[in-house]
Amino acid sequence: THFGFETVKETEKAEKVHSVFETVASKYDLMNDAMSFGVHRVWKDIFIQRLGPTADTLLLDVAGGTGDIAFRFLKYMHIAGKMSGRVTVCDINEAMLDVGQSRAEKLGFSSKQIDWLQADAEKLPIDDASFTAYTIAFGIRNVTHIDRVLEEAYRVLKPGGRFMCLEFSQLNNEMLQWMYDQYSFQVIPVMGQIIAGQWKPYQYLVESIRRFPNQEDFKAMIEDAGFCQVNYENISFGIVAIHSGFKL
Ligand code: SAM
């Protein structure tokens, strides 16, 4: 950016991301299962286990889309007998949130348990120090300025609060990375065409995964935003990674 103006490229990215999720919203959950053979469910389960929410967790789930993380969080609280679970789901895209809301109804969650907030992760309409946990799953890859999102995460967390991110990352083995690339570039867009009738959004998906910083670089960005005790864990050979950090 120069003098506060967004560059053409930045505006284009934001618009592209918006139209991608507008287009895929109704097929989003189905496509996740198809492309990952259902494994995204396991990744999300592990993510919530690592977060290990307690009775006083105040969770903000950013880029929460159709609610997968929020629903898991509430289920975890329920199973653990910590009934007071509440979560705010924030997403920039109305269409994704709409799908989330109707899923929540079908799953029997009450409107007291989930707040739905349409907002940009780069500029959250939320007071400083409001939450004890901030999650973002498969979302940060899509934003225009990762650094601004991290700064906002830091700002809205209370001291002691935890930032956690689940995101596609880089594989720790060249042979596997090669196989994964073949699958991603050749198979995923074709699946998109067959199942969702769209090719382009899934090509975008694959490219955005490729462009996202690797585990170590992303860790350094989280530290730059002020977080302490930053670390990460690779899952499925690094197809995804969970990054975590604390505001002290
Ligand atoms: N967290 C959900 C999950 O794991 O299934 C949804 C992930 S989906 C791949 C990415 C989401 O990020 C989309 O719903 C999109 O609208 C949202 N998103 C993209 N840019 C955003 C931004 N700047 N602020 C908030 N949400 C954003």
* Distance from the first to the final alpha carbon of the chain: 30
Beta-bridge partners for 89: 61, 116
Do 222 and 151 form a contact (C-beta atoms < 8 A)? Answer: no
Cα–Cα distance, 171 to 225 (Å, whole number): 25
- What are 105-114's pLDDT values in tens digits? 999 999 899 9
- What are 189-204's pLDDT values in tens digits? 999 999 889 889 999 9
Q: Ligand 1 centroid to 143 CA: how many Å?
A: 8
Say whether pLDDT at 4 is over 60.
no
Question: Which residue type sits at 85?
Answer: G
Q: Ligand 1 centroid to 175 CA: how many Å?
A: 30
**Full set of structural domains in the chain with CATH:** 8-19+37-171+213-246 (3.40.50.150)
Taking residues 52-63, report their average pLDDT. 95
pLDDT at res. 208: 94
Do 77 and 105 form a contact (C-beta atoms < 8 A)? Answer: no
Closest ligand 1 atom to 65 CA: 14
Q: How far is CA 98 from the centre of its chain?
A: 17
Interface ipTM > 0.85? yes
* Main-chain dihedrals φ then ψ at residue 127, nearest 5 degrees: -65, 155
Q: What count of other Cβ atoms lies within 10 Å of the Cβ of residue 118?
A: 14
Say whether pLDDT at 222 is over 90.
yes
